[in-house]
Amino acid sequence: MSKTFDIAGLGICSVDFLGLMKKYPEPGEKIPLRAFSKQGGGLAGSALTAAARLGAKTAYLGKLGRDEYSRFLLEEFHKDGVDVDHVIFADGAQPPIAFIHVEQDTDERRIARYWQEFELNPEELDRRAIQNSRILFLEHHFVDAGIAAAKWIKEAGGIVVIDAERKVPRFEEILQFADYIIVSQHFAAQQTGSGNPGKSAELLQRKYGGVAVVTAGEHGVFCRTSAMTFYQPAFQVEVVDTTGAGDVFHGAFMAGLIENWALPKILEFAAAAAAMKCRGLGGRAMIPNREEAVEFLRETSIGLP
């Protein structure tokens, strides 16, 4: 039976104000910005946007308010074709606002975030929309709702993909539902005690089953299944800003899953999309569409088989 959505995502989206500067100012110093941008961001928001640009039918199932920042995020989703018909709206539920300062020569970032946290309860979710999706994307926000959603999509025979950025209460419960765990090298080290991303991928897979993927920035991507180990080197690009690279990797990875590609092909595609994003300021401005990603792979003499 066909599904309404390829991917339903539960988590946060944010409004990011980004400034590119030659160097960070000293106390009391004023410096000009080389570039400025206002974009949508957030783990779930940017992952769904990336997947949509790469050809997947996606839906955001989070909570927004009735303020100007929520309206901005809805407009951004509309531009990229992310379905928002199942968003929950609540007075006072303002999305996170992030101020991101990027130093041009080092790509070092300083991030300050303002967010008055709110809850998203399981009874607020649209169960039918979740069960009418092939993949459910979860992250560490709204864990109680995520546990309920994971149970529902499993009942419907769907797949759970989890982005684990940090430990929060009850997150171990949600990890038990994962078919794919895709985490940063930092989180993997915290979770496993191993600073070796290849080893930590092995330990995560052994503990939770399914497929474990550990992203390690310029050092590439390490993946472990129950039977095999895969390594995908990072693509070399002129980096402007790494904000959102992991989120784009998640979205592209899920777009590859929807295509039923082999795992090495998915890893290559996701790594390429994440690298392309890094060529511009912000988490979304340089996310490629499918044709651009395929052309990039052709130009690198790797190509999709």
DSSP 3-state of 64? strand
Assess if residue 34 is contained within a domain.
no
**Which one-letter amino acid corresponds to residue 113?**
R
Which helix (H) or strand (E) is 252 found in, with range? helix 245-258
- Whether 21 is in a domain gets the answer no
102 lies in a domain? Answer: no
pLDDT by 10s per residue, the chain, length 305: 679 999 999 999 999 999 999 998 999 999 999 999 999 999 999 999 999 999 999 999 999 999 999 999 999 999 999 999 999 999 989 999 999 999 998 878 999 999 999 999 999 999 999 999 999 999 999 999 999 999 999 999 999 999 988 888 888 999 999 999 999 999 999 999 999 999 999 999 999 999 999 999 999 999 999 999 999 999 999 999 999 999 999 999 999 999 999 999 999 999 999 999 999 999 999 999 999 999 999 988 554 44
Q: Which pLDDT does position 30 carry in this prediction?
A: 93
Judge whether 173 lies within some domain: yes
Indicate the pTM of the whole model.
0.95
Q: Is residue 32 situated within a structural domain?
A: no
Q: What is the CATH number of the domain that holds 293?
A: 3.40.1190.20
State the pLDDT at residue 301.
Answer: 56
Q: Judge whether 31 lies within some domain.
A: no
The whole domain housing 190 covers 5-13+41-95+117-299
Residue 37 pairs with which residues in a beta bridge? Answer: 18
The SS3 call for residue 70 is helix
- The structure tokens listed for 13 are 């989206």
Strand arrangement, sheet containing 35-41: 35-41, 14-21, 97-103, 109-114
Q: Is 237 part of a structural domain of the chain?
A: yes
Q: Is residue 159 part of a domain?
A: yes
DSSP-assigned states of every residue in 169-200: TTHHHHHTT-SEEEEEHHHHHHHHS---HHHH
CB 244 within 8 A of CB 282: yes
What pLDDT sits at residue 1?
61
Domain count, the chain: 1
Contact call for residues 165 and 140 (beta carbons, < 8 A): yes
pLDDT of residue 107: 78
